[in-house]
Amino acid sequence: MKSLPLVFLLLASLLASLLVSLLVSCATTPPSWHLEHSTSTECLSQYSGAEKKKADRQLDLVSDLFGKACYLEVIALGNYLRNFRRDKFYQLTNETAELLTPEGTFTEYVMESHERSALTILMALSFLQLNREDAAHVELRKAADEQKAELYNFGQDPIITLMLAALWDRWSPNLSRPFWKSLGDTKLIDPLISTFARSRVQEIDAFPSQKRIWKIRGYGTLPDVKWESQFFSRKSGPYKIIPMEPFLANCSDNTTLILNTSLWLQKLNLKYQTDYHPYLYAKSLVRLPFSLTYGVLGVSSGAVVAVGGCALGGRLESKELCKYSLEAASSIVRSSIDFVGYTVKPDLRRWRNLPSVFVFESDGTNNESKKCLQEFSPLPLTLNLSQR
């Protein structure tokens, strides 16, 4: 019985810290922004209330707005995200509270490096659709810079590099060549990509003024994921995050490259590795004993309910009371086990409406091979990045 006050004290301290964290989080919420001009009434309606959404849902909204040609709204929302979701802002109360709760409960989402670049590319294409070519060029250069930025989330991405190479091909092969060469020299990617890129570098060197216009289309969306704990195994991170649907295989021929975006989901695993975010790795380890404590308290409470209920039922000669007590105890134990899993789960927030596969198709002659397109499995069109 002496342990009960300690339990209540622990729970009261937990609730107090969560309340303080919530208040601080609300107090530091970035101000909303005003859209000066809208593309259309329909676009304005979809954009309305965007500032109330979480950052990952705002990214999904960018995809929806771009797909509906709401280019002014894409630029406005993109600027907001780059201003407030590009850098990591540490708050002691929020970070401390997440030692007792799942990652991402109180801390704001910070865009991954490939998400920053993809967002900037959509902004560039939006400017292009508004006949602001100079602004589009500025954004494309920013997209390349985002890959090199030494921020909280960092790292270059071959899919983004391929996009930039194909987009710059429209204006100047001299500008696109460094991106093609970077892909051709990279050995840590699918050989199909590097071989395709080296072939394009050879073409540029042979015909320096020959431009290429690429059709870039994204299909499907990133699949849902499941996760498994690796706390007690000798793995590189505490979690193993697995897509629930397989990605399509990569493919290339003379004029087409089909590339899946499995690398973008791999960042969910990468972010908990010690050489990427040692702080997140440490937080996940610290959170484990707290979650086990929750489980022990839940199992103990269930045992108390079962034993106490059946003892009282025996005195009152009530079998129903013992039955209900056992059912209640079983429910408490199951809930406590689920709560352990909930507490230690990784942060799975991300830009979900990004395509699961991209098709890069150049303006080749009709008699060139179209093998990849002939074998391509039909998926719903998600993003059309072709420069119309």
DSSP annotation of 50 reads G
Do 369 and 259 lie in one domain? The reply is yes
pTM to 2 decimals? 0.83
Domain finish residue from 109, 134, 156: 156
pLDDT score recorded for residue 340: 64
Domain count of the fold of the chain: 3
Tell whether 129 and 248 lie within a shared domain: no
Distance of alpha carbon 101 from alpha carbon 66, whole angstroms: 35
Query: Quick one: 138 and 218 in the same domain?
Result: no
> Are residues 314 and 296 both part of a single domain?
yes
Asked if residues 75 and 131 have their Cβ atoms less than 8 Å apart, the reply is no
Phi, psi of 106 (to 5 degrees): -120, -25
Neighbours of 304 (CB within 10 A): 13
Identify whether 236 is part of a domain: yes
Question: How many residues appear in the chain?
Answer: 388
* 56 φψ region: left (φ > 0), alpha (ψ -120 to 50), beta (else): alpha
* Whether residues 260 and 301 fall in one domain: no
User: What is d(CA 331, CA 336) in angstroms, rounded to the nearest whole number?
Assistant: 9
* Contacts of residue 50, Cβ cutoff 8 Å, sequence gap at least 6: 58, 61, 77
358 lies in the same domain as 263: yes
Within 10 A of 62 (CB to CB), how many other CB atoms are there? 26
Report pLDDT for 301: 67
- 226 within some domain: yes
Question: Residues 264, 125: one domain?
Answer: no
Say if 19 falls within a structural domain: no
Cβ atoms of 265 and 241 closer than 8 Å: yes
- Quick check: is 170 in a domain? no
Same-domain pairing of 237 and 354: yes
Three-state SS string across 235-293, please?
Answer: CCCCEEEEECCCCCCCEECCCEEEEECHHHHHHHHHCCCCCCCHHHHHHHHHHHHHHHH
Domain assignment of residue 2, yes or no:
no
> Phi/psi at 100 (nearest 5 deg)?
-110, -10
Residue 1 is predicted with a pLDDT of 42
Q: Which amino acid is present at 237?
A: G
Say what the pLDDT of residue 23 is: 43
Domain that residue 294 falls in: 285-343
* Whole-number pLDDT of residue 59: 97
pLDDT at 372: 86
- Is residue 107 in some structural domain? yes
| The domain boundary residue, chosen from 323, 343, 363 | 343
Three-class DSSP category at 360 = strand
Distance of alpha carbon 271 from the chain centroid: 11
Q: Are residues 45 and 115 in the same domain?
A: yes
Residue 25 lies in a domain: no
Sign, CA torsion 266/268/270/273: negative
- Let me know whether 43 and 76 are in one domain: yes
State whether 133 and 240 are in the same domain. Answer: no
Judgement on whether residues 315 and 226 belong to the same structural domain of the protein: no
Residue 299 falls inside a structural domain: yes
pLDDT along the chain (388 residues), means of 10: 42 46 46 73 90 93 95 95 91 84 88 96 96 96 93 93 95 94 88 92 91 93 90 73 93 90 92 86 79 62 67 68 70 64 83 96 65 83 81
